[in-house]
């Protein structure tokens, strides 16, 4: 299965406007943003857990990264309320569930295979710091290494957001909105830009709060290699 699988092109999904698709596990639905592969896939999705639902225990052969968008996500390691950012590196395992229901942004099979760094950040406990290089932008850092930079950014109303040489950029609107390339992005809208395409956005009248990742598309993405 391929969904927005040409990473040389700009890709957009207004996720709030597309239907949920059932996963193999009862009570777990998803909205696919991009995907290369079938059930084992390099994938970016918004996933919704109904109250009381659970996924089977599994190992993250290719790693898992997620941000809790609503509710409380859980596994045997603890509870992850809305606003929690987690990186489960390759070889980690868990049994995800949600007693009260939850919605998460999740990215699978997008780690360096040698990465073993586990990360958990409560974004509600972290104050956004103004970016001295960009007027109208404040940043909550989530994770950074030589391959990628992940953060939440707060854009002031009407702020002009320009970004070049980013190595690929991915943005999900968490609140407010912006305009880019003549298109309006509201809450749960997702934008992906290839490395050679600059971002030129303008925050809306309420500003915008966005999850953003850059640098990770500098190398062409590949489908998971399994059974090796």
User: For the chain, what are the domain ranges?
Assistant: 2-8+18-122, 123-214
DSSP letter at 42 equals E
- The pLDDT value given to residue 215: 97
- Class of domain 123-214 (CATH, top level): mainly beta
Half-sphere exposure of 162 (CA within 13 A, CB side): 4
Nearest partner of 68 among 79, 60, 76, judged by Cα: 79
- The pLDDT value given to residue 228: 43
Token pair of 121 as six digits: 């950040």
- The pLDDT value given to residue 227: 54
Contact 31, 21 (CB under 8 A): yes
> How big is the chain, counted in residues?
228
DSSP letter at 9 equals S
The dihedral built from the CA positions of residue 179, 181, 184 and 190, taken in this order, carries a sign that is negative
- The pLDDT value given to residue 58: 83
Token pair of 213 as six digits: 């990742």
> What CATH code would you report for 2-8+18-122?
2.60.120.10
- The pLDDT value given to residue 143: 97
- The pLDDT value given to residue 226: 66
- The pLDDT value given to residue 13: 98
Can you tell me the distance from the alpha carbon of 110 to that of 19, in angstroms, rounded to the nearest whole number? 25
Q: What averages of pLDDT result for each successive group of 10 residues across the chain (228 residues)? A: 96 98 93 92 96 87 95 92 96 91 96 92 92 96 96 98 96 98 98 97 98 95 73
- The pLDDT value given to residue 55: 82
């Amino acid at each position: 299965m391929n969904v927005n699988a040409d990473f040389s092109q700009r890709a957009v999904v207004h996720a709030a406007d597309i239907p949920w698709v059932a996963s193999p596990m009862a009570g777990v639905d998803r909205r696919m943003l991009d995907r290369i592969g079938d059930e084992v896939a390099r994938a970016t999705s918004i996933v919704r857990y109904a109250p009381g639902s659970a996924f089977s225990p599994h190992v993250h052969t290719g790693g898992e990264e997620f941000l809790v968008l609503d509710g409380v996500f859980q596994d045997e390691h603890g509870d992850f309320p809305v606003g929690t950012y987690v990186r489960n590196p390759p070889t980690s395992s868990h049994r995800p569930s949600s007693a009260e229901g939850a919605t998460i942004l999740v990215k699978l099979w997008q780690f360096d295979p040698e990465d073993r760094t586990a990360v958990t950040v409560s974004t509600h406990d972290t104050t956004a710091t103004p970016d001295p290089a960009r007027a109208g932008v404040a940043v909550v850092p989530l994770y950074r290494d030589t391959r990628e930079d992940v953060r939440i950014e707060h854009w002031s109303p009407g702020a002009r957001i320009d970004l070049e040489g980013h190595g690929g950029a991915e943005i999900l609107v968490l609140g407010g909105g912006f305009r880019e390339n003549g298109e309006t992005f509201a809450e749960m809208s997702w934008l992906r830009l290839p490395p050679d395409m600059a971002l030129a956005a303008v925050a809306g009248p309420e500003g915008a709060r966005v999850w953003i990742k850059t640098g990770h598309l500098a190398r062409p993405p590949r489908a998971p290699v399994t059974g090796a």
